[in-house]
């Protein structure tokens, strides 16, 4: 039988996260590869979702989100960034940040359009651009500092460029953008007229006293900026897949056109539970300390190892240089480490389009202390 089928993503294989987690399971390895916590979510939050299910909040939610949650998010954003988005017109609940990113890219990109992406990049950006007939232009940040050269970004922008995508704090490098970077972003948006998609899922995970620079704190980015967030990251519940999209009423209306035909609406009891949980006035600033302690435990534990840490200023990831241990390319090294020493990490090269091997692996430290310690004991033997 001949099948006349042209793949929209011919070069896409199973992601490295799936590959490494499967290998971790096969070898009973300590899994520091995929970015999710191995400790429980807050019991209050868990009880709330059970309560709303029992109270029969079990039918479709409104398309843009449960009003109580939209209003809590508006308050949260105002508290963090000094601007209260209109819950009715500027916030949309999504099935995780992933869906928000995909829908935002679909709304911006059509055949022949271009998007500028900064690599190493979270793996969903480029496929979403390509699925919509677009093309990516890539700026490569390099170790050890992973700085963006904004002048080089300007050079990638042409009359086909619709979208610039930034991710701050940055997965997988743990780097963060400072105020000067955001000034540059704002200038670029004004000079060129590109739209901006800012992935800020790790907004509360910024360390060493530094502050997260959200695009939402900048009135000058309101016309063309769109930001996405994830309760999976901020509430230690990645499996709930609840995130949100914030942009001005015009962009939000366009986003909702796509949203209503892809997911329509998001899990009702979980939205109510999060809304009720947020009413409890959560101190988000505690999250940084919580994760910084884990980063420090990992880094101190590995001080006597042959792994060299790179700076992790945010997220729950840290890159480690293994060039003093092996010449293997990073994907080979990560697999070998899992098989031979029982610790699963993520190699950095799959986050780049080009064949760039910097001998770095990403370690996720969103883990219980005993998990980190168990991994450290094994990594000290490498
Ligand atoms: C940078 C970045 N963006 C988006 C996401 C997706 O978030 P969600 O799980 O809410 O879909 C992740 C998850 O790992 C991420 O690291």
Q: Is the CB of 199 under 6 A from ligand 1?
A: yes
| Closest of 35, 37, 57, 101 to residue 274, by C-alpha | 57
Residue owning tokens 């359009």: 113
Position 2 scores a pLDDT of 66
| Closest CA to ligand 1's atom 7 | 97
Structure tokens at 83: 């601007």
CA distances, 68 to each of 19, 226, 277, 294 (Å): 39, 22, 11, 33
Confidence of residue 1 (pLDDT cuts 50, 70, 90): low
Output the CA 15–ligand 1 centroid distance in Å.
14
pLDDT tens column, 53-101: 999 999 999 999 999 999 999 999 999 999 999 999 999 999 999 999 9
Output the CA 119–ligand 1 centroid distance in Å.
15
| Closest CA to ligand 1's atom 14 | 35
List CB contacts of 92: < 8 A, sequence separation 6 or more: 64, 65, 100, 244, 245, 246, 252, 255, 256, 259
Mutation pick for ligand 1 pocket among 97, 203, 228, 267 (CB with most ligand atoms within 8 Å): 97
Mutation pick for ligand 1 pocket among 119, 125, 171, 230 (CB with most ligand atoms within 8 Å): 230
Percentage of the chain lying above the pLDDT 70 cut: 99
Q: Is the CB of 120 under 6 A from ligand 1?
A: no
Position 110 scores a pLDDT of 98
Q: Which ranges of 11-149 would DSSP assign to H, the alpha helix?
A: 16-26, 43-54, 67-81, 96-108, 125-131
Q: For 230-252, give the secondary structure using H, E and C.
A: EHHHHCCCHHHCCEEEEECHHHH
Atom of ligand 1 nearest to the CA of 231: 10
Mean pLDDT of 153-174: 98
Q: Going from the N-terminus, what domains does the chain have, and what CATH number goes with each?
A: 16-41+285-379 (3.90.1150.10), 43-279 (3.40.640.10)
Query: How far apart are alpha carbons 77 and 79 in whole angstroms?
Result: 5
For residues 17 and 162, the model is more confident at 162
Structure tokens at 143: 């170790």
Mutation pick for ligand 1 pocket among 34, 98, 312 (CB with most ligand atoms within 8 Å): 98
Q: Is the CB of 216 under 6 A from ligand 1?
A: no
pLDDT tens column, 169-208: 999 999 999 999 999 999 999 999 999 999 999 999 999 9
pLDDT at 3 over 80: no
Cis peptide before 208 (omega within 30 of 0): no
178-187's contacts with Cβ under 8 Å and 24+ in sequence apart are: 178/210, 178/213, 179/213, 181/148, 181/150, 181/213, 182/213, 182/215, 182/218, 184/148, 184/150, 184/153, 185/150, 185/215, 185/221, 186/218, 186/220, 186/221, 187/150
Position 281 scores a pLDDT of 80
Mutation pick for ligand 1 pocket among 18, 146, 171 (CB with most ligand atoms within 8 Å): 171
Output the CA torsion sign for 193, 81, 271, 45: positive
**How many Å separate Cα 332 from the centre of its chain?**
25
CB 362 within 8 A of CB 49: no
Output the CA 230–ligand 1 centroid distance in Å.
7
| Closest CA to ligand 1's atom 9 | 96
Output the CA 201–ligand 1 centroid distance in Å.
6
For 364, the enclosing helix (H) or strand (E) is: strand 360-364
CA distances, 44 to each of 217, 280, 284, 308 (Å): 30, 10, 16, 39
Output the CA 324–ligand 1 centroid distance in Å.
31
For 162, the enclosing helix (H) or strand (E) is: strand 161-167
Atom of ligand 1 nearest to the CA of 232: 10
Query: How far apart are alpha carbons 221 and 270 in whole angstroms?
Result: 31
Position 13 scores a pLDDT of 82
Query: How far apart are alpha carbons 8 and 12 in whole angstroms?
Result: 9
- Mean pLDDT (the chain) is 97
Q: Is the CB of 201 under 6 A from ligand 1?
A: yes
Output the CA 380–ligand 1 centroid distance in Å.
30
CB 31 within 8 A of CB 334: no
pLDDT tens column, 263-278: 999 999 999 999 999 9
329: left (phi over 0), alpha (psi -120 to 50) or beta: beta
Q: Is the CB of 122 under 6 A from ligand 1?
A: yes
Q: Is the CB of 98 under 6 A from ligand 1?
A: yes
List CB contacts of 287: < 8 A, sequence separation 6 or more: 204, 205, 234
Output the CA 325–ligand 1 centroid distance in Å.
31
pLDDT tens column, 283-316: 999 999 999 999 999 999 999 999 999 999 999 9
pLDDT tens column, 311-355: 999 999 999 999 999 999 999 999 999 999 999 999 999 999 999
Q: Is the CB of 232 under 6 A from ligand 1?
A: yes
Q: Is the CB of 230 under 6 A from ligand 1?
A: yes
Sheet holding 317-321, edge to edge: 308-309, 317-321, 360-364, 346-347
pLDDT tens column, 122-131: 999 999 999 9
């Amino acid at each position: 039988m001949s099948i006349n089928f042209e793949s929209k993503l011919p070069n896409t294989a199973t992601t490295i996260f799936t590959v490494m987690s499967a290998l971790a399971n096969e070898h009973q390895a300590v899994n520091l590869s995929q970015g999710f916590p191995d400790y429980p979510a807050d019991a209050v939050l868990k009880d709330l979702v059970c309560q709303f299910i029992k109270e029969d909040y079990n039918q479709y939610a409104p398309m843009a989100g449960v009003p109580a949650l939209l209003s809590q998010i508006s308050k949260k954003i105002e508290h963090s960034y000094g601007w209260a988005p209109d819950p009715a017109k500027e916030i949309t609940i999504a099935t995780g940040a992933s869906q928000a990113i995909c829908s935002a890219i679909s709304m911006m990109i059509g055949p022949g359009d271009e998007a500028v992406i900064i690599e190493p990049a979270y793996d969903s950006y480029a496929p979403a651009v390509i699925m919509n007939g677009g093309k990516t232009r890539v700026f490569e940040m390099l170790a050890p500092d992973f700085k963006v050269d904004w002048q080089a970004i300007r050079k990638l922008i042409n009359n086909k460029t619709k979208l610039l995508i930034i991710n701050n704090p940055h997965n997988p490098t743990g780097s963060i953008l400072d105020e000067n970077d955001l000034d540059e972003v704002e200038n670029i948006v004004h000079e060129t007229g590109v739209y901006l998609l800012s992935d800020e899922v790790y907004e509360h995970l910024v360390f060493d006293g530094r502050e997260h620079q959200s695009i939402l704190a900048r009135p000058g980015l309101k016309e063309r900026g769109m930001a996405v967030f994830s309760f999976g990251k901020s509430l230690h519940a990645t499996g709930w897949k609840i995130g949100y999209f914030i942009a001005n009423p015009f962009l939000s209306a366009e986003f909702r056109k796509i949203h209503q035909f892809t997911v329509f609406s998001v899990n009702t009891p979980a939205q109510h539970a999060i809304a009720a949980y947020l009413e409890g006035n959560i101190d988000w600033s505690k999250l940084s300390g919580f994760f910084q302690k884990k980063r420090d435990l990992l880094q101190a534990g590995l001080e006597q190892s042959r792994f060299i840490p790179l700076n992790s200023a945010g997220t729950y990831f840290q890159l480690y240089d293994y060039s003093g241990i092996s010449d293997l390319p990073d994907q080979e090294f990560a697999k070998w480490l899992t098989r031979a020493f029982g610790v699963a990490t993520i190699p950095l090269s799959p986050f780049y389009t080009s064949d760039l091997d910097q001998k770095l692996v990403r370690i996720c430290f969103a883990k219980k202390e005993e998990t980190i310690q168990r991994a450290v004991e094994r990594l000290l033997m490498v």
